[in-house]
Amino acid sequence: MADIIQLLPDSVANQIAAGEVIQRPASVVKELVENSIDAKATSITINIKDAGRTLIQIIDDGTGMSETDARLSFERHSTSKIRKAEDLFSITTMGFRGEALASIAAVASVDLKTRLANNDLGTHIIVEGSVVLSQEPASCSPGTIFTVKNLFYNIPARRKFLKSNTTEFGHILSEFERIALANPTVEFKLYHNESQLFSLPRTNERQRIVAIFGKKINQNLVAIEAETSIINVKGFIGKPENARKKSGEQFFFINNRFMRNPYLHKAIVNAYKNILQPDSVPSYFLFLEAAPDSIDVNIHPTKTEIKFEDQQAVWQIIHATVKQSLGKNNIVPSIDFDMEQGFEIPVLTKNTEIKKPFVEINPFFNPFDEKPGPAKNQNKSISSLEKENTANWEKLYDGFENEKNLTDDLSSTSQIESQQKLRESNFSGKYYQFKNKYILTPVKSGLMVIDQKKAHERILFEKFMFSLESNTGISQRTLFPKSIELAPKEHSILMEIIDQIKMLGFDISDSGNYCVTVNGLPADSSDQEPEQIIDKFLNEYLNTEIDIKTRAKEKIAQALAKAAAISSSQALTNEEMSELVDMLFACSMPNFSPFGKKIISILKTEEIEKRFS
Ligand code: ADP
Ligand code: MG
């Protein structure tokens, strides 16, 4: 048989590498800005157009490149950052694999202007699809300008895979946040479609966090610090009462590099045990420092996954540091630390046996419970019943089988009507609220338990969907116009969907400087401050991916329904409960929340009777 193995041409090999390193416009931003940081830039400007589809431009005042280096920089495995294999274990730069520029140039058109400070002239190179189209001397300022146009122009499949501009720009913002947080002493400017989103002066870590996430985060930040022989930890953790659902403000940096680390994430969350609302995640910004030879950065092409020589010890140190500072700041009243003597963080080596620090806590303490005590156990009666109970809405029909109009193939309107009729004949009109969370009401087949928050979410969701489809949202004026300052990222997202938001009944306008003025909220919103509703809405919305146009409306309605619904700890009057139940059964899908969670459960009469037999 003839020889069949061939070396791939460079352009193909580079495209394959690009598949790993350059997944979307945000990856280009990350790689280029990291190169600027490695080139010791003190000021970096980022220009983006159409979420990076048409233009990504990075301007830095770093070292620049010589003519030869400029040309070489586009070759695969060309790097100035390591020379030999051992260097891989003492990485102090962001890049070292020498594949980013080659990858970008394989899938886009790249224009590079660069100049060393000591040279009068710089170099101008244009590369497209791995082919150098031109190279000539040029006059430019010291430093480097990379201009990347038409990303994935030669890979239509990739281009098609890009999500909406909102989503892609969201990814760019996330990369930007990470790099800007890791490098507070570097000045950053970010423009999208020619409007300036960020102008971050050189500063310290705390001020940088505030500049990115808005002033209101400042009072939420608790400083933490620890020095050990394995790792140094410093940074900020959020107060438990400000923890939000889902993620968004959780950052680990190791030697100025952002990293993902679900394992160490647990060390933090674990330290907040018993002082967080269920499902909420505390904010944290942890800047870790470790000897370069004790970590491995080279385990993933994007270099955001990092292996520690001794993960367990790092876990213990972070856990103890967070716990200590929560205790020291009186955030955890029941932790019994000896403050006078300070707090010793054990320095461990790989072979030391790890013992969990002894911390005395009241296992039943729940700051969110009005009365102390074993709240979990009390709650269990309902939740375990809910699980055991397979009854659903259909079971409400028990005993009504003979009634007319109750066939399966009812159209939705007649279904609503029949449900309403059923409701009238079936409900006693007696309501009892349990734990300020559930509405209990006797029905024909037993005792119906309704989750009030989820019920309200369903009601609002259907209303919002209707408003979006028909453009008929009703606004309820707030007493006074309220001005709300948003984080720049929140502001830019809100502005992109402001038309839809208005359709839902928000009377809201942009008042400049990342501020919005709220004059009205969607009718039927719960009794919360506009600020709270908008904050929850944006948080929910930012954490949901929006893929296809048709689903976009649904996501907005979902996020807003969740934000504007009554809480699961709100006392309700009999009238309010009755109205809520009425509205719920007027919904087309009263059984499930917009997030697919169960709203109604029936505790059957026989089950109750069995308990007393
Ligand atoms: P890596 O960063 O892994 O070394 P890249 O492909 O990202 O690989 O860059 C290749 C080389 O080009 C870098 O090692 C560096 O010498 C040079 N380079 C890239 N961007 C810049 C910049 N903005 N300023 C100065 N030199 C740069
Ligand atoms: Mg690089």
CB atoms inside a 10 Å sphere around CB 508: 22
Indicate whether 404 belongs to any domain. no
Residue 505 pLDDT more than 80?
yes
CATH label of the domain that carries residue 155? 3.30.565.10
Indicate whether 416 belongs to any domain. no
Indicate whether 549 belongs to any domain. no
With a 6 Å cutoff on the Cβ, whether 100 touches ligand 1 is yes
Same domain, yes or no: 150 and 183 = yes
Same domain, yes or no: 275 and 152 = no
Residue type, 596: G
DSSP class per residue in 199-260: EE-S--HHHHHHHHH-GGGGGGEEEEEEE-SS-EEEEEEE-GGG-EES-SSEEEEETTEEEB
Element (H, E) at 546: none
- State the pLDDT at residue 427: 64
Q: How confident is the model at residue 467 (pLDDT cuts 50, 70, 90)?
A: confident
Indicate whether 140 belongs to any domain. yes
Indicate whether 345 belongs to any domain. no
Domain containing 304 equals 205-328
Mean pLDDT of 124-152: 97
Same domain, yes or no: 194 and 224 = no
CATH label of the domain that carries residue 260? 3.30.230.10
Based on the structure, what is the number of domains in the chain?
2
Same domain, yes or no: 50 and 181 = yes
Indicate whether 301 belongs to any domain. yes
Same domain, yes or no: 42 and 183 = yes
Q: How confident is the model at residue 549 (pLDDT cuts 50, 70, 90)?
A: very low
Q: CA of 465: how far to CAs of 261, 415, 459, 489, 594, in Å?
A: 38, 19, 10, 26, 11
In whole angstroms, what is the distance from residue 474 CA to residue 451 CA? 26
In whole angstroms, what is the distance from residue 336 CA to residue 359 CA? 7
With a 6 Å cutoff on the Cβ, whether 61 touches ligand 1 is no
Mutation probe of ligand 1 site: the residue of 28, 38, 58, 148 with most atoms within 8 A of C-beta: 38
With a 6 Å cutoff on the Cβ, whether 593 touches ligand 1 is no
**How many residues does this entry show for the chain?**
613
User: Could you give the angle at the alpha carbon of 509 between the alpha carbons of 506 and 510, nearest 5°?
Assistant: 140
Of ligand 1's listed atoms, the one at least distance from the Cα of 97 is 3
In whole angstroms, what is the distance from residue 566 CA to residue 587 CA? 17
Indicate whether 309 belongs to any domain. yes
Same domain, yes or no: 43 and 97 = yes
Residue ending a domain, among 200, 218, 246, is: 200
Residue ending a domain, among 144, 170, 200, is: 200
With a 6 Å cutoff on the Cβ, whether 125 touches ligand 1 is no
How far does the centroid of ligand 2 lie from the alpha carbon of residue 297, in Å?
Answer: 13
CB atoms inside a 10 Å sphere around CB 548: 9
Which structure tokens are listed for 94? 């962001």
Of ligand 1's listed atoms, the one at least distance from the Cα of 103 is 6
pLDDT in tens, 23-39: 999 999 999 999 999 99
User: Could you give the angle at the alpha carbon of 83 between the alpha carbons of 77 and 88, nearest 5°?
Assistant: 85
Same domain, yes or no: 195 and 230 = no
Element (H, E) at 610: helix 605-611
Contact between 598 and 589 (Cβ < 8 Å): no
Q: How confident is the model at residue 246 (pLDDT cuts 50, 70, 90)?
A: low
Residue 207 pLDDT more than 70?
yes
Same domain, yes or no: 156 and 280 = no
With a 6 Å cutoff on the Cβ, whether 79 touches ligand 1 is yes
Highest mean pLDDT among 87-96, 180-189, 205-214: 180-189
- State the pLDDT at residue 287: 97
Indicate whether 354 belongs to any domain. no
Same domain, yes or no: 18 and 32 = yes
Residue 127: exposed, middle, or buried by beta-carbon count in 10 A (0-12, 13-18, 19+)?
A: buried
The residue that leads in pLDDT, 469 or 577, is: 577
Residue 223 pLDDT more than 80?
yes
DSSP-assigned beta bridge partners for residue 112: 125, 146
With a 6 Å cutoff on the Cβ, whether 74 touches ligand 1 is no
Mean pLDDT of 270-283: 84
Residue 360 pLDDT more than 70?
no
- State the pLDDT at residue 403: 34
Residue ending a domain, among 287, 311, 328, is: 328
Same domain, yes or no: 168 and 30 = yes
Residue 396 pLDDT more than 50?
no
Same domain, yes or no: 139 and 71 = yes
Contact between 178 and 251 (Cβ < 8 Å): yes
> The pTM is what?
0.65
Could you tell me whether strands 143-149 and 195-200 are parallel, antiparallel, or unpaired per DSSP bridges?
A: unpaired
Contact between 557 and 569 (Cβ < 8 Å): no
- State the pLDDT at residue 426: 59
Residue 366 pLDDT more than 50?
no
Minimal-distance CA residue to ligand 1 atom 16: 80
Same domain, yes or no: 247 and 120 = no
Residue 371 pLDDT more than 60?
no
Which structure tokens are listed for 110? 């790249």
pLDDT in tens, 66-108: 999 999 999 989 999 999 888 888 889 999 889 999 999 999 9
- State the pLDDT at residue 336: 37
